[in-house]
Amino acid sequence: MGTPVELGREDYHVELVLDRESGLLQVYVLDGEMENFVRCQAPSIEIRTTVGGREETLVLKAVPNSETGETVGDTALYQGPAGVAKAAGTFEGVLREITIRGTTYTDVKFSFPKGNDPES
């Protein structure tokens, strides 16, 4: 189970999963109910993290999957090194930009592992 980050008014979500052992951060793009994966065209996404006052930009690349037919430019999964967030396990984040089905979301703030849902 990961950290949900709402995009828009529950238009979509991204779910962040930090694997501290491997040092990878994965981001899954999901629909508004977090039930189905939604493929995106971006070859990568950026997340700016802040840990203990130190800022770092993580670049997460599109992950192809031959079993699902996903390719770079048509995938619901992005991953990359978690940087200093790996050791900390908690951080403040900003999803710089993601376009999903023609709608662009920019500078989406969240806390990891809490997310950005004001009701939680």
Q: What is the pLDDT of residue 40?
A: 96
Q: Which two tokens stand for residue 120?
A: 């939680």
Residue 120 lies inside a defined structural domain of this protein: no
Contact 2, 16 (CB under 8 A): yes
Residue 22 lies inside a defined structural domain of this protein: yes
Q: What is the pLDDT of residue 84?
A: 87
Q: Which two tokens stand for residue 107?
A: 């500078």
Residue 117 lies inside a defined structural domain of this protein: no
Here the CATH number for the domain that contains residue 55 is: 2.60.40
Strand 91-100 relative to strand 77-81: parallel, antiparallel, unpaired?
A: unpaired
Domain count, the chain: 1
Residue 15 lies inside a defined structural domain of this protein: yes
For the stretch 19-53, pLDDT in tens is: 988 999 999 999 999 999 999 999 999 999 999 88
Give the range of the structural domain holding residue 73, as residue numbers without chain letter: 3-112
Residue 11 lies inside a defined structural domain of this protein: yes
Of 48, 73, 70, nearest to 58 (Cα)? 48
Please give the model's pTM, rounded to 2 decimal places.
0.92
Strand 3-7 relative to strand 44-51: parallel, antiparallel, unpaired?
A: unpaired
Within the chain, which residues score under 70 in pLDDT?
1, 118-120
Q: What is the pLDDT of residue 89?
A: 82
Q: Which residue has the tokens 């192809």?
A: 64
